[in-house]
């Protein structure tokens, strides 16, 4: 029963191997997404970014709201490139804006509860969740949800 191989991706030269930015637990209860669902969710998120162009690091920052697994992050970037969601050019990511803007009123839902922001780890009493076809992304605080969507 090895549903998820503990792939350590050893010997990868461009793996920064820095786990200094917090302890995001991607398997926290309630996230409940498998690997394929995470890829789809991240691709939808990338398709909805409201920037024409972003540094790779900023794009990875967004993807890290879906997964903190560097191997999966690379897989997502490869897949986004392959599907034409983004173009990769020497350290920058050019997004293909297809009018896929998130409509805040209908796609961002708020829920009361005891949450932790998935981006910055802050405690929240109101969680903002972005609804994509592939699933829900969140919770986020009010400013992080805008950052994740590229509005600020």
Counting contacts by CB under 5 A, is residue 144 touching Zn ion? yes
Locate 58 and state its tokens.
């900023």
**Which CB, 109 or 122, lies closer to Zn ion?**
122
- Three-state DSSP at 111 gives strand
Least separation in angstroms between residue 70's CB and Zn ion is 21
Instruction: Check: CB of residue 149 under 8 Å from CB of residue 138.
Output: no
Q: What does the alpha-carbon distance between residue 45 and residue 148 come to, in Å, rounded to a whole number?
A: 8
Nearest to 136 by CA among 49, 31, 25, 60: 31
Which of 33, 76, 117, 145 is close enough to bind Zn ion by CB under 5 A? 117
124 DSSP β-pair partners = 115
Window of 43-51, 54-62, 66-74, 133-141 that interacts with Zn ion by CB under 5 A: 133-141
**E-strand spans in 7-143?**
53-55, 86-89, 92-95, 108-116, 123-132, 135-140
Please tell me the count of residues contacting Zn ion according to CB under 5 A: 6
Counting contacts by CB under 5 A, is residue 137 touching Zn ion? no
Counting contacts by CB under 5 A, is residue 49 touching Zn ion? no
Window of 1-9, 37-45, 88-96, 122-130 that interacts with Zn ion by CB under 5 A: 122-130
Least separation in angstroms between residue 120's CB and Zn ion is 3
- Three-state DSSP at 140 gives strand
Which residues of the shown chain bind Zn ion in the complex (CB under 5 A)?
Answer: 117, 119-120, 122, 141, 144
């Amino acid at each position: 029963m090895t549903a998820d191989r503990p792939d350590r991706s050893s010997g990868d030269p461009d793996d920064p191997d820095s786990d200094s930015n917090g302890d995001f637990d991607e398997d926290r209860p309630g996230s409940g997404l498998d690997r394929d669902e995470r890829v789809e969710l991240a691709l939808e998120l990338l398709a909805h970014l409201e920037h024409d162009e972003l540094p790779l690091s900023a794009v990875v920052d967004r993807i890290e709201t879906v997964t903190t697994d560097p191997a999966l992050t690379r897989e997502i970037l490869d897949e986004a490139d392959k599907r034409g969601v983004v173009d990769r050019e020497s350290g920058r990511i050019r997004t293909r804006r297809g009018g896929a803007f998130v409509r805040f009123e209908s796609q961002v839902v708020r829920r009361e509860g005891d949450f932790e922001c998935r981006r910055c780890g802050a405690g929240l009493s109101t969680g903002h969740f972005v609804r994509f076809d592939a699933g829900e992304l969140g919770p986020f605080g009010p400013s992080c949800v805008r950052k994740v969507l590229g509005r600020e």
